[in-house]
Amino acid sequence: MGVYEAGVNGTATATSCSFWNTSMRCWCRWRWENHQQQQQQHNVLRQRLVSLVFSSGFTFFLGYLVLYGSIGMFYAWLMFSKPYLRSTNAGVGLKSLGCQEDNEGSWSIGVFYGDSPFSLKPIEAMNEWRHEGAAWPIANPVVTCASLSDAGFPSNFVADPFLYVQGDTLFLFYETKNSITSQGDIGVAKSIDKGATWQQLGIALDEDWHLSYPYVFNYLGQIYMMPESSQKGDLRLYRALNFPLQWTLDKVLIKNPLADSFIINRAGEYWLFGSDHSGVGTRKNGQLEIWYSSSPLGPWKPHKKNPIYNVDKSVGARNGGRPFVYDGNLYRVGQDCGETYGRRVRIFKVEVLTKDDYKEVEVPLGFEESNKGLNAWNGARYHHLDVQQLSSGKWIAVMDGDRVSSGDPVHRFVLGSASFAAVTAVVVVLGVLLGAVKCIIPLNWCAHFSGKRNNALLGRARSNLFSSKVRRFCSRLNRVPLSVRGKIKPNTWAGKLVLAVIFAVGVALMCTGVKYFFGGNGAEGAYPLNGSYSQFTLLTMTYDARLWNLKMYARHYSRCSSVKEIVVVWNKGMPPRSSDLDSTVPVRIRVEDQNSLNNRFKEDPKIKTRAVLELDDDIMMSCDDIERGFNVWRQHPDRIVGFYPRLVRGSPLQYRDEKYARRHESYNMILTGAAFIDRTLAFERYWSSEAKAGRDLVDRYFNCEDVLLNYLYANASSSQTVEYVRPTWVIDTSKFTGVAISKNTSEHYNIRSNCLLKFSEIYGSIAGRKCEFNGRKDGWDL
């Protein structure tokens, strides 16, 4: 028994060792072959990469991408760098942390007046505010992210405005999105001039969660605020401890995340309207609930028909401001979120409001939307309105607005990325047509494994069938370049034309992508001065032969943000009707009895703005340049501020072009073919008795009216009287129509030289005055 057992154990041990040795050898061989295979694959991959990098196709691809990229960089510098932007406070919070681009928008707040809630007009239309030291009228928006940011409270936007009226003082509560925390806080401002100007008081309420929609009301001598705090999960009521900046939590009204809620006293009951988007099956921005109580402090009971609405977001179910009572009727303000969030406000007349029933019907607000698009502060959407009656009987309203739709930055990023991807495809097509790209996909990228097979590589071997199909697809795809080159024939004129068109398409796509990435939202808005905006009248002088110029002129400039009205001084021929011109602002055609250039500066009491932009109808420039020029003029309203500088000097005096002024790095005259002036100051000087001799010369030469105005300004002041703003680009459209007033340049310059001599004899020379081109602060060397 013992010998047997030893033999058996020995045999088992030997067998076990043999099996173990064999397994180890197999495992080591597998590891070695696997390592060799991986090394082989790495070498193949490295060779492919090297061959790819040094291939003619890759060089072509990279070179054309660099070319298109260079074109895109030049386009970005030309269109979006604004190299001539002056170092003034024209920027909107440029040095602060505020006014950052935000996916929620760039909301701001405007003020409106009317005899009723249904006849509201913007503050600029009412001409409420005039100040001798500033441009008038004041224009919307009156509160922006810059208003708060420049006061030391960085903000990306301001929205959801509510008024609280105390006698002649207006308090404005609103949501401000903190630029640092990206959280909504409640800001407050004060006005003592009917809302024309606002003093930013600071942040009234700041919690650890998002706040908005600061509904403020008075109850039993106490001032309460009920902001939206749906992110916290409930509806909270705050009471003022030291109005308007100190508040304390009074109580939690409802433990539901109600959004955009208000309380109204009607028929002896208090009614609370709000939207709860947390429920299953609730349609966002399309839900409305009503609660009722005997006190605004609660307790609150739900309406029998809740939810009152659970409909499409375009219906206006979500509240959009404070309800109001007019002629005994209650009106609710809702917001239409159909096209985009907060597209517009809608007004509903409440016909039935009981504990068991609710009915309302939509009525027109009578509000005219702006047609200036992105250039209007509320051109894309407006979603909140608070309208109240003042003690005078007039109505005042605050409304927020935005020039872009919700999600605009993301939308532009997607379109820009798609444009750049399309440029890559264009480069590949060009490479195929020019023969630089021989194949779309190299066949060795699709090669299957052909080495020694073993059990460990069986799984890889089973994929050979798929590899073969891929190789066949690659082969067919790679025959496409030969087929395309055979049909287009790049060496022929037709083929070269096709190549040029494809290259141009690539340039257009690259510029489009750059525009989406670096061009911002595309708006050419107004520049504020000391936090306020204004408007100007655009005046041009023309006649029947230049009607085509006038139509293009009105269509383009009427969409500039600060243009209030266009006045056309019609000197000769049959005038057009105002309706013949595509304009977003009123066009007034002033027909003159005499064809005289003096008509340009004729006193016109119908002009309702202090600033007038004298702009020839054959000059086209960007709205952004116009707005920059207007901002500079607002800082120097006693000067002629324009875009065409000239230098008058020499003996005898000789009129020269802009190149001469730039060569000598100075100027002392601004042509009024494109210049801002103070209408009262300029027109009174031009039609004074002292200017009679100069006006006679203008009629005699049919020229030099702009030169005369410069002499009159210089004669009236020893300080600087002209200011130059360099435009980004200018196009003279008269060159396309052949109806330029001054066709013979040499004769035109000779007449103007004679004018210089005559005006110098009458009003004194301006040759001794000089303003330097230095891009920042122009000096006036007497």
- pLDDT value for 95: 45
Query: Rounded distance, CA 537 to CA 558, Å?
Result: 10
The two structure tokens encoding residue 627: 């707005």
Please list, in sequence order, all residues whose beta carbon lies within 8 angstroms of the beta carbon of residue 620, skipping any fewer than 6 positions away.
552, 553, 556, 730, 731, 732, 733
Which of 307-311, 462-466, 511-515, 589-593 shows the lowest per-residue confidence on average (mean pLDDT)? 462-466
pLDDT category at 452 given cuts 50, 70, 90 is: very low
Which of 5-9, 46-50, 130-134 shows the lowest per-residue confidence on average (mean pLDDT)? 5-9
- pLDDT value for 120: 95
- Report yes or no: 259 and 286 within 8 Å, Cβ to Cβ: no
pLDDT category at 554 given cuts 50, 70, 90 is: very high
pLDDT at 683 over 70: yes
pLDDT at 45 over 70: no
The whole-number average pLDDT for the span 65-83 is 83
pLDDT at 115 over 60: yes
pLDDT at 15 over 50: no
Which of 235-239, 330-334, 742-746 shows the lowest per-residue confidence on average (mean pLDDT)? 742-746
pLDDT digits (tens, 9 = 90+) for 120-178: 999 998 876 666 667 788 999 999 999 999 999 999 999 999 999 999 999 999 999 99
pLDDT digits (tens, 9 = 90+) for 174-206: 999 999 999 999 999 999 999 999 999 999 999
What is the full DSSP assignment across 351-391?
EEESSS-EEEEEE---PPPPSSGGGSTTSSB---EEEEE-T
pLDDT digits (tens, 9 = 90+) for 603-615: 999 999 999 999 9
- Report yes or no: 397 and 120 within 8 Å, Cβ to Cβ: yes
pLDDT category at 774 given cuts 50, 70, 90 is: low
- Report yes or no: 628 and 90 within 8 Å, Cβ to Cβ: yes
Query: Rounded distance, CA 597 to CA 158, Å?
Result: 47
- pLDDT value for 30: 52
The whole-number average pLDDT for the span 27-34 is 56
Report which DSSP code applies to 687.
T
Q: What angle do CA 141, 147, 148 make, to 5 degrees?
A: 130
- pLDDT value for 7: 43
Length of the chain: 782
Residue 99 vs residue 452, higher pLDDT: 99
pLDDT category at 262 given cuts 50, 70, 90 is: very high
The two structure tokens encoding residue 639: 């000067």
- pLDDT value for 228: 97
Residue 589, beta-bridge partner list: 568
The two structure tokens encoding residue 541: 């002088």
- Report yes or no: 137 and 129 within 8 Å, Cβ to Cβ: yes
The whole-number average pLDDT for the span 314-332 is 97
CA 43 to chain centre: 53
What is the full DSSP assignment across 218-232?
EETTEEEEEEE-GGG
Question: Can you list the positions of beta strands (E) in 438-562?
Answer: 533-534, 536-542
pLDDT digits (tens, 9 = 90+) for 338-363: 999 999 999 999 999 999 999 999 99
- pLDDT value for 501: 93
What's the predicted TM-score (pTM) here?
0.84
- pLDDT value for 133: 66
The two structure tokens encoding residue 496: 């070269």
Query: Rounded distance, CA 263 to CA 271, Å?
Result: 5
Which of 13-22, 182-191, 669-678 shows the lowest per-residue confidence on average (mean pLDDT)? 13-22
Q: Which of 244, 254, 243 is nearest to 276 (CA)?
A: 254
Which residue numbers are catalytic?
706
pLDDT category at 585 given cuts 50, 70, 90 is: very high
Q: Which of 217, 194, 183, 189 is nearest to 204 (CA)?
A: 189
- pLDDT value for 775: 45
Query: Rounded distance, CA 317 to CA 213, Å?
Result: 16
pLDDT digits (tens, 9 = 90+) for 285-310: 999 999 999 999 999 999 999 999 99
- pLDDT value for 229: 95
Give, for 214, the enclosing helix (H) or strand (E): strand 212-219
Q: Which of 287, 276, 225 is nearest to 251 (CA)?
A: 225
pLDDT at 780 over 50: no
The two structure tokens encoding residue 145: 């992210």
